[in-house]
Amino acid sequence: MKIAFIAHDNKKDDIVRFVTAYEPVFIQHELYSTGNTGKRIMEHTKLQICRFNSGPLGGDQEIGSLIAKNLMDIVFFFRDPLTAQPHEPDISALIRLCDVYSIPLATNMGTAEILVHGLNRGDLHWRDIIHEKNLDTVKDNEWKKK
């Protein structure tokens, strides 16, 4: 599974603790993150994470691009609902894309706990079917070009 981690500044400590607690689960997957969040997670774990720009510099949009191509399976986005974010439209767009493409999204610790336990149990293998359908579509489109 391809998993993205994003956290607002006031939530970075929370996401680091969360990912550290579930490192044995996450190490089995392909991990992505916005810049500073990924850096912090890698400093505290042995996980390798593909890092994009920080959120305000377009990292949210880079992850959104993968979602729009149905190439992201889960998003853990620890949001700070009490602090105004200068890039709020980007945040809203990312959340909207998760809804459009049915990407499981956890925006707080409670939902993240449920999602990671589902991931560990194999409850999200339906995403593999989505990937197979995407490959079939790509193959069909390549055949039509010939």
**What are the residue numbers of the active site?**
60
Which are the contacts of 109, defined by CB distance < 8 A and separation ≥ 6?
14, 18, 78
Q: Are 5 and 37 in contact (CB under 8 A)?
A: yes
* 78 CB-contact burial (10 Å; exposed 0-12 / middle 13-18 / buried 19+): buried
β strands within the chain, DSSP E: 2-7, 30-33, 49-51, 74-78, 105-106
Within 10 angstroms of residue 122's Cβ, the number of other Cβ atoms is 7
**Structure token pair of residue 17:** 């603790």
What phi and psi, each to the nearest 5 degrees, are found at residue 2?
Answer: -100, 125
